[in-house]
Amino acid sequence: MNKPYVGYVNYMLRLYCTHPPRINGIMAEQENPWDPDRLPVFYNKRTEINWKACDEVVRVLPKQEKKMIYALFGTESEETVKMDTLVRQYCEWSGMSPSSAWTILNAVTDKIARKRGLW
């Protein structure tokens, strides 16, 4: 099934993973979700809403799944590299099965889309 929101959610995840929550310059874990000290500076309200939707979903993921999301979306190169290539490379590196990685990625994408009212 072709999901029209996938490209937009991928954009949102790139924004989130390249501007992660921080406390005193260190990536924050699951503490106090929207403490102003841990939020990046947002250019507009839509960017803030997108970032917070991603944070709500990614923050509560198990550590291995969170690492996968940051690995797939946290670098500058993913805009020019196809997602299937990134998933394949991540699976080769981590030992995770591609079907598991796609299941996790699709679930995260769907949850973020629901939070943002895209689905």
DSSP 27: E
Find the Cα–Cα–Cα–Cα dihedral 89, 59, 108, 118, rounded to 10°: -130
pLDDT computed for residue 20 by the predictor = 75
Instruction: Give the SS3 label for residue 42.
Output: coil
pLDDT computed for residue 69 by the predictor = 94
Residues 16, 54: contact at Cβ < 8 Å? Answer: yes
Query: What type of residue sits at position 21?
Result: P
Residues 60, 30: contact at Cβ < 8 Å? Answer: yes
pLDDT computed for residue 106 by the predictor = 95
Closest by alpha carbon to 72, among 50, 90, 60, 48? 90
pTM: predicted TM-score of the whole model, two decimal places? 0.82
| pLDDT of the chain, 119 residues: tens digit per residue | 578 999 999 999 998 988 877 654 445 554 555 555 567 778 899 999 999 999 999 989 999 999 999 999 987 655 667 888 999 999 999 999 999 999 999 999 999 999 999 98
